Structure 1
């Protein structure tokens, strides 16, 4: 299960736009590496790193990094850097700098979008792909988010639309509606784990606003029209798709990916939203351990 572990090694890696901080756990001679791409964009990797570094107990090397603009990495103030293509190059720079070889790539949320783009660009670098609480078709996700918002009731939806039209995202009533959606569809625990709060408390809204938008339920950034469903069939790596029943990126989004991938399997966690590794950790780790175990090097 998840626990906070000090990294065995830390690295600074040159990427386009600056340097990133990398956290390296386990035996560097291990034949299997789990490379984690966290969500956001704009979040430090704490919440995902602490939930997966425990896989060193099963003999994996686990690597996570603060993406450029986050955590202990450099924080340039240049919106031109916040593109998915640049982040693909950043991920490859980390893999090569640490000499990781072929990896098991796990992308959560925005990290899943990045993982899909990485898989389509550097397929030879993958042993397997894990797409956790993510999607491949942003317009479809927007429709799903509108459905989730509608459950708040027509008056609340009308209020949210008014504030969105005016750009008054900080208004208390709008913020309250977003907070309720977060507790329903991001993490359903009454007390959020310390690594989650630590990541959220250090959120760089520059990359987030440029790429996604003002919050989890409104997409206005440069990824709002992103859709890789037509290309998913090109991904040949064995793929595990994970999501929560109450996920903001809904089971319908997960199913849409699976239907277009030849080598994918799917698991929906019935009591989770966007963070099953904290909401249902035993079930989550069992499923992920089984999948990775079937893809391990001999």
Structure 2
């Protein structure tokens, strides 16, 4: 893609990598990837929106092309919110749209709780806005799998063997139904999963999607979602780990919200329905650009 700019931004704890795709005339879009400990994907279809507006990705500290310090004191929601503010200031973003995916929605909601200036709209893509609700929803899904799979997962968690090959193979069956339904997975997704920073993920979340034991275990943004006064779009896949019931519930808490389900996707609509995903986000953003700013 033409008009791509990359670089590093100093933040608390190290330097984070960023990339700006495109230079369209619209209000910039800033994207918060999932995880925690995951990274941006080079083939993200939202980069196509660069013809409309600058599309900004950055790898959060500890992830992807950014520095990977090992000090666990850095792995807090508060520091990631601080980091987001540092990225916004470094890039001179006086006005922008914010999109979070998965854990990125936790970060987006936490950032908005501070009532920052300049955010024109927010997109909660496959939201994880209550850790307990997420855990309950995954366990409900798990009950739809064969008993053998359920028992392997339960036993691995109980015995602390979630780093075993048997556990990885068992969880893969779950991921292929509720994380990404494209078969086989694109190599880029395989690489991203392999490169995930397990220290960050395990410290903040836990050993698996099914049991939250990390510092995010009591995270719940539902109490302050009603205070979000900017327009909000909530999206999820029909088979998403972020269930349509939970996503619609969160949308109902935000005064100026819309809700959209990608019918042929689970947790990665950008890979499962790339063109549809990009078009829905494009339409939403273009519509918001036309509205007067706050």
TM-score, normalisation: structure 2:
0.93
Indicate conservation of the 8 Å contact 2:135/2:209, yes or no: no
Residues 42 and 245 (structure 1 numbering): CA distance in 2 closer, same or farther, change over 3 Å?
same
Per-residue deviation at 1:7?
Answer: 6.5
Match of 1:275 in 2: 268
Q: Does the residue aligned with 1:230 lie in a helix, a strand or coil?
A: coil
Residues 252 and 184 (structure 1 numbering): CA distance in 2 closer, same or farther, change over 3 Å?
same
Count of residues in correspondence between the two structures: 291
Match of 1:170 in 2: 163
Determine if the alignment matches structure 1 residue 94 to structure 2 residue 87: yes
Determine if the alignment matches structure 1 residue 44 to structure 2 residue 36: no
Q: 2:61 aligns with which of 57, 68, 71?
A: 68
Query: 1 CA distance for matches of 2:199 and 2:163?
Result: 16
Q: 1:56 aligns with which of 44, 50, 59?
A: 50
Residues 80-159 of structure 1: pairs in structure 2 closer than 5 A: 80-159=73-152
Match of 1:183 in 2: 176
Indicate conservation of the 8 Å contact 2:31/2:99, yes or no: yes
Query: 2 CA distance for matches of 1:6 and 1:88?
Result: 30
Per-residue deviation at 1:26?
Answer: 1.8
Query: 1 CA distance for matches of 2:115 and 2:195?
Result: 30
Determine if the alignment matches structure 1 residue 232 to structure 2 residue 225: yes
Determine if the alignment matches structure 1 residue 34 to structure 2 residue 37: no
Residues 206-255 of structure 1 deviation map (CA, whole Å, 9 limit, x = unaligned): 11111111133332111011001011011011001010010011112201
Q: Which runs of 5+ in 2 are unaligned?
A: none
Q: Does the residue aligned with 1:229 lie in a helix, a strand or coil?
A: coil
Indicate conservation of the 8 Å contact 1:123/1:237, yes or no: no
Indicate conservation of the 8 Å contact 2:122/2:233, yes or no: yes
Residues 59-68 or 194-203, more deviating:
194-203
Match of 2:186 in 1: 193
Match of 1:10 in 2: 6
Per-residue deviation at 1:155?
Answer: 3.9
Residues 161-188 of structure 1 deviation map (CA, whole Å, 9 limit, x = unaligned): 1221110113343222211001000000
Per-residue deviation at 1:19?
Answer: 0.9
Residues 272 and 255 (structure 1 numbering): CA distance in 2 closer, same or farther, change over 3 Å?
same
Query: 2 CA distance for matches of 1:93 and 1:122?
Result: 15
Q: Does the residue aligned with 2:171 lie in a helix, a strand or coil?
A: helix
Residues 6 and 23 (structure 1 numbering): CA distance in 2 closer, same or farther, change over 3 Å?
farther
Residues 149-158 or 100-109, more deviating:
149-158
Structure 1 residue runs of 4+, over 4 Å off? none
Q: Which runs of 5+ in 1 are unaligned?
A: none
Match of 2:238 in 1: 245
Query: 1 CA distance for matches of 2:169 and 2:8?
Result: 39
Q: Does the residue aligned with 1:259 lie in a helix, a strand or coil?
A: helix
Query: 2 CA distance for matches of 1:217 and 1:189?
Result: 22
Q: Does the residue aligned with 1:190 lie in a helix, a strand or coil?
A: coil
Q: Does the residue aligned with 2:68 lie in a helix, a strand or coil?
A: coil
Residues 94 and 77 (structure 1 numbering): CA distance in 2 closer, same or farther, change over 3 Å?
same
Query: 1 CA distance for matches of 2:194 and 2:115?
Result: 33
Q: Does the residue aligned with 2:177 lie in a helix, a strand or coil?
A: helix
